[in-house]
Chain A
């Protein structure tokens, strides 16, 4: 009988074979325009997805059965942890996470092959070839340097369980899969961009397929970044949600270039310009996801996310270098074959602001990238260790964020194409009311930081423009979705500005029964309680919270001690309201004495709400609702006729 580990290895070898063959076949049938070749590469794409799915199921089965003869199960499994922890431990450690990556890639490739082929028959073989080439690389990683299916002999009787940070909060269940959906999804638009460059042309159906797949990844990436921030806030205990940690930056980089690409693709659709630029942004978004993978898994960057040092770093670096060289060569050879069908003739127009938005987003990306890799440069040059901290990022990024927020208001207010001075004035002046209104409200509530005040003004301006546009819209589902995203972005930036500049915090040492106040809250320490679960023991501080003299809730920040960990892991507790949060984390804890960090932060919840709004807007723009579909089709027919 074949063992589980051997079955897993066999499936992965099958996936490696199928994807390599499919990649070659895809490119060959693209070059020869062979329909038979395209049919076969499509079949191989489905086969790759199926093999990855079965291999992942085999691993989940081994995890649930505690089959410690499989190396990955021996490494992260444990008989003591709850079932949900066992299921999600698939992505708790390096090898499993790469297998999970392979699964997501396989499913994406199969779905893209199935749903985007119509109208793209000429580009499809190259796209499938590119996707399967990526599939081939990841199957190679799983089969070789990061193999989770090695045989353990003799098999241990029990394992250590997954990383305690994963067990410590339920958000960890959702953050990694969504991040992978965002990261891996960038492979699909990448394939379309490569196909467009190889063919030297990009028609409307290909642009739509590329934009939709990019938007889908963008939605997942947005939610994943937000969940990561939320998790950091709920778990790490310092009361913030973003630390400019290298791996946080790694997830932000492709998000920025994808945002730029979504906008430039719109100008490309409307005006027939910026083709090469848009494709460059799409290629960059994919490359940045590979860079992010390298950052998390090579052990080169110090971060809460880092997996342990491993041999797969060099392998991913080789892949990154190969994709970089391939992309640059392809762009250099083919970019001039993509002819512009027009030009941007008015700087003060909607497309003019799109261009400015793109430049700012690319500058933003570059700034974050430089800040992230700079410590490596310094160490390589003079051997000194350093880290680039918050001051650099804040001082560079805050002005850019505010400028983008201004554009968010000005862009949609302006018409497409050339406009008269009077039209421009009529478009840009009324929203000043919204800007001033939000500014005044903010100042009344205590905003004093100059950047916060500017942000409030820009946010109010953008919100008025966007809400007016939303009210005017009748039948464009895509624009409706886009404006919902804009509302989300404006709210998010304002909430970030307020929550980071207007929070108050204090550290207190309380004896049992003693109280302390922060803002309108009074907190009373009611003693410590020990709780024990199979996989951990916790010391819980019981804290009664009253606001303006009325009891509102009881918070229970805790220190969790996991069996296999030397240090306990603290978990703060948060009382969230729509106006702001009371956040309590433990500094020190004894039976009748507690050192507590108390933080009151206004509007934090709005960040999570805003990102969910952005994701909802993205889905509205993406999904063909039947009610809109007929109208959109009719409209694009009219547009097609109108375009010479």
Chain B
């Protein structure tokens, strides 16, 4: 038994396997948002299907689910029923859809067919998307009652994930 080979090999094996194992389950494309823990950027945007505008500041006092999406994005279709159902089940939480790089007629058509349990605004010129550092759609931000961003979720959100996020902000 060559002890030098054994001990060197054991150290390399343990270190390499431990490092690789720590990486499992991690999404390398995920980038933490610097906005987490900070006040959500303010915006006033036109509501879909009416001339009214919605000011995000007026939701202060309630947790908010802010969902960036578009009609041309297939994962957003997948996610839409989850958001609708959860919005109906949680009247204490304000849901708001923000549509990104899209046309109003298409959005209205989409919502008419697939249902709309909460208001949707149009992000003209992508200003809100830039302010929130949106890298792609769908992306969902969860704000607590004070307007602080507590969660950023990339990609379509599942029922279970959304429930656990909401449990976190409602408990606060």
Contact = CB atoms under 8 A, between A and B. Distances in A.
Interface of A: 276, 291, 294, 298-303, 306, 309, 313-314, 317, 320-321, 324-325, 327-329, 331-333, 335-336, 373, 376-377, 379-380, 385, 566
Given A300-B28, A321-B13, A328-B13, A376 B6 contact: no
B5 A324 contact: no
A328 B5 contact: yes
A309 B16 contact: no
Contacts of A317: 17, 20-21, 24
A566 B5 contact: no
B17 A300 contact: no
A319 to B, nearest CB: 11
Contacts of A300: 20, 23-24, 26, 28
A302 B28 CA distance: 5
B98 to A, nearest CB: 18
B42 to A, nearest CB: 28
A566 B100 CA distance: 13
A385 B32 contact: yes
A301 B2 CA distance: 35
Given A313-B24, A376-B22, A331 B16 contact: no
Given A300-B24, A306-B28, A335 B16 contact: no
A324 B27 contact: no
Contacts of B9: 324, 327-329, 331-332
Contacts of A333: 1-2
17 contacts: A291-B16, A291-B20, A298-B23, A300-B20, A300-B24, A321-B13, A324-B13, A324-B16, A328-B10, A329-B9, A331-B5, A331-B9, A376-B22, A379-B22, A380-B22, A380-B23, A385-B32
B5 A332 contact: yes
Interface residue range, chain B: 20 to 34
B13 A325 contact: yes
Contacts of B136: 566
B27 A299 contact: yes
Nearest to B21: A317
Nearest to B31: A385
Contact of A324 (B6, B17, B22, B24): B17
A405 B19 CA distance: 33
Given A324-B12, A336-B2, 4 more contacts: A300-B28, A321-B13, A332-B9, A379-B23
B118 interface: no
Nearest to B30: A385
B43 to A, nearest CB: 24
B29 interface: yes
A376 B19 contact: yes
A566 B72 CA distance: 8
Nearest to B13: A324
Given A306-B28, A317-B17, A320-B17, A332 B1 contact: yes
A164 to B, nearest CB: 15
Contacts of B3: 332
Contacts of B12: 324, 328
Contact of A377 (B19, B26, B28, B72): B19
Contacts of A377: 19
Most buried by A among B22, B27, B31: B22
A376 B16 CA distance: 10
Nearest to A331: B5
B5 A373 contact: no
B83 to A, nearest CB: 20
B73 interface: yes
A373 B16 contact: yes
A321 B31 contact: no
A377 B17 CA distance: 11
B20 A294 contact: yes
A276 B2 CA distance: 11
Contacts of B23: 298, 300-301, 376, 379-380
A603 B94 CA distance: 61
Contacts of A314: 24
Interface in B20-64: 20-24, 26-29, 31-32
Nearest to A313: B24
Closest 7 CB pairs of A and B: A328-B9, A302-B28, A380-B22, A332-B6, A300-B23, A332-B5, A376-B23
A589 B22 CA distance: 43
B123 to A, nearest CB: 17
A299 B29 CA distance: 9
A389 B28 CA distance: 15
